[in-house]
Structure 1
Amino acid sequence: MAGQVNLAVGCLVWIEDPEVAWIDGEVVAVNGQDIRVLCSSGTTVEAKSSNAYPKDPEFPSCGVDDMTKLAYLHEPGLLQNLKCRYDVNEIYTYTGGILIAVNPFRRLPHLYDNGIMQQYKGADLGELSPHPFAIANSAYRQMINEGISQSILVSGESGAGKTESTKMLMRYLAHVGGRDGGKAATGERSVEQQVLESNPVLEAFGNAKTVRNNNSSRFGKFVEIQFDRSWRISGAAIRTYLLERSRVCQVSDPERNYHCFYMLCASTEEVEKYKLGNPRTFHYLNQSNCYELDGLDESKEYTSTREAMDVVGISTAEQDAIFRVVAAVLHLGNVEFTKGKDADSSEPKDDKARFHLKMAAELFMCDEKALEDSMCTRVIVTRDETITKCLDTVSATLSRDALAKIVYSRLFDWIVDKINNSIGQDRDSKHLIGVLDIYGFESFKTNSFEQFCINLTNEKLQQHFNQHVFKMEQDEYTKEEINWSYIEFIDNQDVLDLIEKVQKSFFPFVTNLNFSADFVDLFILYS
C-alpha cells in the first residue's frame, strides 16, 4: 500500500515534522479531515488526515532487508526501515532488484574481504544479505544466462558513497571474471589488476575534497568490462565526462583542489626538483584554508599513485612528465600581472611573478616569452592580416586561468587515454558489463553552470529510473489487467523537455548533444 487509509482513533500514523522530517504518533481525535495526534515525543499536534500516513504496528525493530516486504510503501515507512537497519550497522537494503546504500562514513573492512566475495559467488539475488557483491554477481549471472550485456547504475547525492560502491562492484567482477593470476604469473599485469588500479590514478587527478566528501569524484566515469567466450575479463574501456575544470583555479573554503597537487607538494623528492613548497604559497591552493585531510599521509598517497601508474602501464618517464605539468600549473597560478608600458597592456608584476613564469616555461618545456605573450596578448587572424591585441591585467589573469584549466583538462584526458591503451580492448568481445559512477546531485547557496549540468545529468538518470521502475512496470500491470493501486511519483520529464528545447534553440546545428560534456564546452565557447 502506497497511499493513505481511513484513519480512526487509536490508529498509528506518521506526520511531517519540520525538524526530523517525520514523527510517529497515535490518533486521539478525528473531526472530518482534521485529526489530533499524540506524538511519541509526548507533544500533541493537529494535522490533516490527507497528510498522515499509516504506521505498521507489527514493524520489526531491526527492519526488513527488502523494502518490498513492508506493509506500507511510503516515504516515512521507507526512511524508518533504513534508519533501523543503519542503527544495527546494516547499511545495505534491497528494493526489489535495486540496492540502497547508506554511507556509514567509516571503514567496514569485514564486509568486503575475499571470504565474503566467495560467499556471494553464484548466489541468487536475495539469498544472502543485501550487498554490492550481490548486485555485481546478479549482473554477471544474467550476462551468462541470457547472453545479454548488462549495466549497473550508481546514483545518489554528492558524498553518498557512490565511488566506494563502484570500487566494490569492480572488485567483485574482477574476482569472478579474473584469470586466476594467469598473466600475473608471467610478470605481466592482468586486465583485472589494471582495471582496479586505474581507480587510484583517476582519483588522484579527478577527485577532491568538498564540503560533503573528502574524496568526491569531480568527473563522471563509465567503465566497460569486456568478457570473452569463457566469461573471463578480456578487455576494458574507461570513459570520463565533464571534469570540473573550474576547480583548478577556484576553490571555495573549506574545499580543496585536486588531490595530485597536494601529493606533489608533500613529496620530498619532487619538491626541490620542481621548486615547490608549502601548498599555502600557491594561489590555486591557498584560496581555501583546508590543506590536509585527517588521517591521510599525502607523501604516501603520492608513492601509492606512482605504483598504481606502474600497474596501468604508465612509464616512469611519462609519470615524470605528468607531475611536471601538475607543478607547472601551480607555478602558472602565481604569475601575477601589472599594468604594462602601453595602454591596456600588462606584464608580470615583479621578480616573484617572473620566477614562477620562468619555472612554468621550463616545466612546460616552452619558450618563456611565448608563454608570457600567450597570456598578455590575443592574436586575431583575419583574411588579410594577423592582429596582436594587448590585454589588460584583468584579461591577462583570465587568460592565465583559462590556460591552466585547459592544460589540466588535456592532461586528465591523456591519462585516461593512456590507461585505455595500456589495458586494451577486446574487439572480439560480444558481452560486457558497464558500471556508471556519475557525479552526485549538488545544491549550494550559489550554483555554477557546472552544477547545473551535473544536476541535469542526475535528473536524466532519475527519469531513466522512473521509466523502468514505475512507468514500464505499471504499464505492464494495466496491459495484463492486474488489480493494483497506482503509485504516485514525481515525474521530471516536463522539466527535462523544457531544458532540452532551450538547448536546441541555442545550438540548432547540434544533434544528440551530450549535456554532461559537449554542452558545457559549447556554452563556454559561445560565451
Structure 2
Amino acid sequence: MPEPNMNFRKGAKVWVEDKHLAWVPAEITDCRGKQVQVQIGSGKTVLALPEKLFPRDADEEEEHGGVDDMTKLTYLNEPGVLYNLQRRYALNDIYTYTGSILIAVNPFTKLPHLYNVHMMEQYKGAPFGELSPHVFAVADVSYRAMMNEGRSQSILVSGESGAGKTETTKLIMQYLTFVGGRAAGDDRTVEQQVLESNPLLEAFGNARTVRNDNSSRFGKFVEIQFDANGRISGAAVRTYLLERSRVVQITDPERNYHCFYQLCASGKDAEKYKLGHPSHFHYLNQSKTYDLEGVSNAEEYMKTRRAMDIVGISHEEQEAIFRTLAAILHLGNVEFSPGREHDSSVVKDQKSTFHMQMAADLFRCDVNLLLATLYTRTIQTREGSIVKALDCNAAVASRDALAKTVYARLLVDKINISVGQDPNSHVQIGVLDIYGFECFKHNSFEQFCINFANEKLQQHFNEHVFKMEQDEYKKEEINWSYIEFIDNQDVLDLIEKVTYQTDSFLDKNRDYVVVEHCNLLASSKCPFVAGLFPSPPEESSRSSYKFSSVATRFKQQLQALMETLNSTEPHYIRCVKPNSSNRPQKFENLSILHQLRCGGVLEAVRISLAGYPTRRTYSEFVDRFGLLAPEFMDTSYDEKRLTEKILQKLNLQNFQLGRTKVFLRAGQIGVLDSRRAEVLDMAAKRIQHRLRTFIAHRKFISARVAAIALQAYCRGFLGVWIPNFLT
C-alpha cells in the first residue's frame, strides 16, 4: 500500500523494510538513480526502491503516546499503524480505533482500573470518540443504536488464540448487563444468568492448547435480548464447529475440555462416579498435562456448579450432566480384542468390562445393548436385517463416535437452552466470539473450516468498511458516486494463501451418526440423556448410519450466521496478541503485523486508500498548510474557502470539500507536506541568513565600539605617558 506519487527528496523521513522488525524509521540521504539511499536509526545506510518506502511524519513520532485513532495519522499506511500501536501499548493504552473499528492489544496483565463501575459510568451515553478508545465505548454505541433505531446490533470479536477474544467478550457482556440491568432491588436473575453463562461455556468449550491455556475450541454467538425499555429479558447461545475430535484425541502438552479435569478433582462426586486421577483415563492421559498453572481444578469445579445454579440448571440436571461426562470417560477406557469370528471383536478384559458396565450404568441403559452398538452394525436390506460384526479398529471408531456425539449434543442442546430465551424480544445485541484465521506448519480439515469461516467474515467486514466510508462521504455531502471498490479475489486467498494437507480430509469430513447409538440412548431411563437423542425420523431407521457431512453442516450454520449478521448493524473488535510468550510489555512487530493483515485491519486501510484516506477539519488544515498561501491568510475568507484557495494554488486536483472536512486522495498529503517542508526549509535558510547577518553586524558594531574605546584609552594613556617621559 505505498503512497503513490510521493515526491521523495533528500532529508525526507520514511519507513524502510526490515527483516527483524518489519519496518524501521529512516531518512533519505541520496535519491539519485533508480534506488534511494536511506540511513536508519542505527546509522547504517541501505539502498531501497522508492516504491518500497512509506512516508512518515516525524512530528507524530514526538507525540510518544501515539494517536487514539488511526485515521488521525498523517500517513495512513502499514508501518504507521504498527508503530502507533507500539507507542500506545508501551503506555498500557491497549485500545486504539481505526475509524469505528476497535483494536485491542492483549496486555497480559491485570488492568482493573479500566473495567470498574466508575469506568462504565463514564462511557454510559458518551458520544463515540469523545473518550479514549475502549471496549465499553463499542458496547455502548451498539446499545444506543439499538435503542434509538430499534434495530438489532452485532459485535464481532476476532483474533488468534491468546489474543483476548474471550475476555473481551466477557467485558462486552459485563457492560451490557450494566446498562441493560434492572434497578437496585429488582430481580436481576436474567443479567446474572447472562454473565454466568461465560464460565459455564468455558468449562465445556475451552481447553489448553499449545498457544493458550484457556482456548475456546468452538465459535459462539451470544444473543442478548432486550425488552422495549432496554432491559435484558433473555439470552441465547449458538455454537459453531465444536472441536469434537478433542473429546477422544489430544496431544502433549494440550488438554481435553476443562470440565473433565474438574470432575476428576471433585472429591465425593468423583468417588461416586468411580473416577480418579485424569491419568487413569484414555481420553485424558494421551497428554501428560493434567493441571494448569495457577488454576485449581477442584475450585473450578465448584465455580462451574455455582454458575449452573445461577443459570438455572436444576440439581437433578447437574447430576445428569456430570454423570454423562463420567460415562464418556469410562467409555474411553473400553478396549477390544479380536473375536472368534472373522473381523469381529469382543471386550478385551475384566478392566474393560468394568468400564463398560460403568458407562452403561451412568447412561442408564442396558450394558449388552450398549456393547452391541459398539461392535456390531445392523444393515437393512429388502430381504431383511443383516447384523455385521466390526473388527477392533471399527469398534474403537464406534466407541469414539458415540463419545463425540454425546458430548457435542450435551454442549449444544443443553448448555445453550439453559440460558433462557425471551420469545417476545424484538431487538438484541449479538456478540460473536470465533477463533481467528489459522496458518500452521501443518494445516488440515479443521483449519480449512475455520479459515473458510474467517474468509466469509472478512468479506462481510470489507463490505461494511466500504459502506462506512460511503456513509462518511454522504454525511459530508461530497461527490462519492465514482468511487469504486471491487473485491474480485477468490475466497481462497482473501486473507492469505494457505497450504492444506488433504490426506485426512475425507475421514474428518465424514460424521456418521450411528442410528443404533441414538436409538439406545433415546430409550435411556435417564430423562436427561434420552432428551439429548430425540426420536429420529422414520427414514433414518432404514440404515445403520446416517451420513452428515461436517463441511455441509458447518456451511449451513455459517450461512445462518451470515444471514443474522446481515440483518444487524455490525461493530468490529480486532484482538491482537502482542507476543508468543504471553508476557506483558513485549511487542513483536512481525507477529503483530501478520495479525493485522489477517484480522482485516490493513484491509480496512486498503479500502480507505481506495477513497479519501486523509481527512482534516478545515481549521486543522489551515493551521498546518496556511503558510503555503500566506497572501490569503489576512483576507475575509472562511476556513473552508481558505482550504480551497491553498489547494488551488498548488494545482492539486484529487480532493473533495465536505461540510466540515477536506478529503484528500492517497499521496496528496505527501505532496502538501513536501511543499510545506520546502517552504519551511527556505524560511529557515532566510532566517538563518538574516540571523547570521544580524549577528555579524552586531559583532562588527561591538568590535567598532570596542576599537573606539580602546583608541580613546590608548590616546589618553599616551597623552599622560609621553609628557612624563619627555620630562
With normalisation by structure 2, the TM-score equals 0.65
CA drift of 1:444 comes to 2.0
Letter in 1 for 2:128: L
Residues 1:63 and 1:492: Cα distance change in structure 2 (over 3 Å) = farther
Post-superposition Cα deviations, 1:111-134, rounded to whole Å, max 9, x if no partner, equal 111111111111111111111111
Alignment check: 8 A CA contact 2:240 2:557 kept:
no
Q: Is residue 9 of structure 2 the alignment partner of residue 3 of structure 1? A: no
Partner residue, 1:523: none
Partner residue, 2:392: 393
Partner residue, 2:57: 56
Partner residue, 1:156: 159
Post-superposition Cα deviations, 1:200-231, rounded to whole Å, max 9, x if no partner, equal 11110011111222111111111222222211
Alignment counterpart, residue 461 of structure 2, candidates 455, 461, 465: 465
Partner residue, 1:71: 74
Partner residue, 1:115: 118
Distance 1:29 1:491 in 2: 38
Distance 1:443 1:493 in 2: 15
Larger deviation, residues 236-245 vs 2-11: 2-11
CA drift of 1:322 comes to 0.4
CA drift of 1:182 comes to 4.5
What aligned pairs does 1:122-521 form with structure 2 within 5 A after superposition? 122-184=125-187, 190-420=189-419, 423-425=420-422, 427-470=423-466, 473=469, 480-482=478-480, 493=491, 515=554
Distance 1:287 1:73 in 2: 49
Aligned residues: 502
Partner residue, 2:105: 102
Q: Is residue 91 of structure 2 the alignment partner of residue 88 of structure 1? A: yes
Distance 1:350 1:107 in 2: 51
Distance 2:78 2:322 in 1: 48
Distance 1:68 1:131 in 2: 16
Q: What is the SS of the residue equivalent to 1:440?
A: coil
Larger deviation, residues 1-10 vs 233-242: 1-10
Larger deviation, residues 438-447 vs 166-175: 438-447
Distance 1:489 1:2 in 2: 19
Distance 2:557 2:376 in 1: 28
Letter in 1 for 2:464: H
Partner residue, 2:639: none
Partner residue, 1:525: none
Residues 1:116 and 1:472: Cα distance change in structure 2 (over 3 Å) = closer
Residues 1:126 and 1:519: Cα distance change in structure 2 (over 3 Å) = closer
Q: What is the SS of the residue equivalent to 1:285?
A: helix
Letter in 2 for 1:193: Q
User: Structure 1: any 5+ residue segments left out of the alignment?
Assistant: 497-505, 521-527
CA drift of 1:439 comes to 2.2
Distance 1:404 1:259 in 2: 16
Distance 1:138 1:68 in 2: 19
- Structure richer in helix, relative to its length: 2
Distance 1:489 1:156 in 2: 22
Alignment check: 8 A CA contact 1:459 1:492 kept:
no
CA drift of 1:167 comes to 0.7
Alignment check: 8 A CA contact 2:453 2:558 kept:
no
Residues 1:356 and 1:350: Cα distance change in structure 2 (over 3 Å) = same
Q: What is the SS of the residue equivalent to 2:237?
A: strand
User: Structure 2: any 5+ residue segments left out of the alignment?
Assistant: 495-508, 510-548, 560-727
CA drift of 1:424 comes to 3.0
Residues 1:347 and 1:2: Cα distance change in structure 2 (over 3 Å) = same
CA drift of 1:488 comes to 10
CA drift of 1:19 comes to 1.9
Distance 1:71 1:35 in 2: 22
Residues 1:138 and 1:301: Cα distance change in structure 2 (over 3 Å) = same
Partner residue, 1:503: none
Letter in 2 for 1:170: M
CA drift of 1:477 comes to 5.2
CA drift of 1:481 comes to 2.5
Larger deviation, residues 133-142 vs 486-495: 486-495
Letter in 2 for 1:255: E
Q: Is residue 35 of structure 2 the alignment partner of residue 37 of structure 1? A: no
CA drift of 1:325 comes to 0.8
Distance 2:443 2:136 in 1: 36
Post-superposition Cα deviations, 1:38-92, rounded to whole Å, max 9, x if no partner, equal 2223433222111111121111211111111111111111010111111111111
Q: What is the SS of the residue equivalent to 1:275?
A: coil
CA RMSD after TM alignment: 2.8
Letter in 2 for 1:116: M
Letter in 2 for 1:191: V
With normalisation by structure 1, the TM-score equals 0.89
CA drift of 1:180 comes to 2.2
Residues 1:196 and 1:211: Cα distance change in structure 2 (over 3 Å) = same
Post-superposition Cα deviations, 1:219-248, rounded to whole Å, max 9, x if no partner, equal 111122222221111222221112111111
CA drift of 1:177 comes to 0.7
Distance 1:118 1:183 in 2: 20
Larger deviation, residues 411-420 vs 454-463: 411-420
CA drift of 1:253 comes to 2.2
Distance 1:61 1:98 in 2: 22
Post-superposition Cα deviations, 1:414-461, rounded to whole Å, max 9, x if no partner, equal 3234314xx231x33222211111222222222231221111111111
CA drift of 1:516 comes to 5.1
CA drift of 1:474 comes to 5.3
Q: What is the SS of the residue equivalent to 1:23?
A: strand
CA drift of 1:413 comes to 1.7
CA drift of 1:337 comes to 1.4
Distance 1:230 1:289 in 2: 52
Distance 1:490 1:98 in 2: 24
